[in-house]
Amino acid sequence: MDAIILYAYKRNFDVQKAERYFKERGVRLQVADMKKHPPGVKELRLFAQRAGLHNIIDKDNKRYKESAIAYMAGEESILSGLLREPELLRSPILRMGQKITVGYRPDIWAEWLKEQKKDPPR
């Protein structure tokens, strides 16, 4: 059974709803505070690969338009920019193994939980 990790830069309404969703179902989350422990290159690549590079960027963030990331075109340059400015990542990002969601996605999380019930712990 894969652990579910919640990556969040700051506590916003969607982060709180995600935490509540899993708590109500008795599922423990591992919470990764991206302010203290920003994701590394491998994690960012996985997020971008599974969720889409432009889906993981918080374009509503006030700092986004002021950042160089808003004007970059290449995937590698955007990823390196996100390494320097992880506050521009949308949150929450949830990960179960190789599966990733961005934002509040209870429909997908319900599927994850069904899969975990089918797959008994080893």
Q: What is the tens place of the pLDDT at every residue in 13-34?
A: 999 999 999 999 999 999 999 9
pLDDT score, position 2: 81
First to last CA, the chain: 7
Q: What is the CATH number of domain 4-118?
A: 3.40.30.10
Domain boundaries, the chain: 4-118
Tell me what pLDDT residue 120 has: 61
- Extended beta strands in the chain, E state: 4-8, 29-33, 93-96, 99-102
User: What Å distances lie between residue 112 and 21, 35, 41, 116, CA to CA?
Assistant: 13, 26, 25, 6
Give the lowest-confidence range in 4-8, 67-71, 90-94.
67-71
State pTM to two decimals. 0.86
Q: Which residues pair with 7 in a beta bridge?
A: 32, 93
Helix crossing, 75-84 with 41-51: angle to 10°? 130
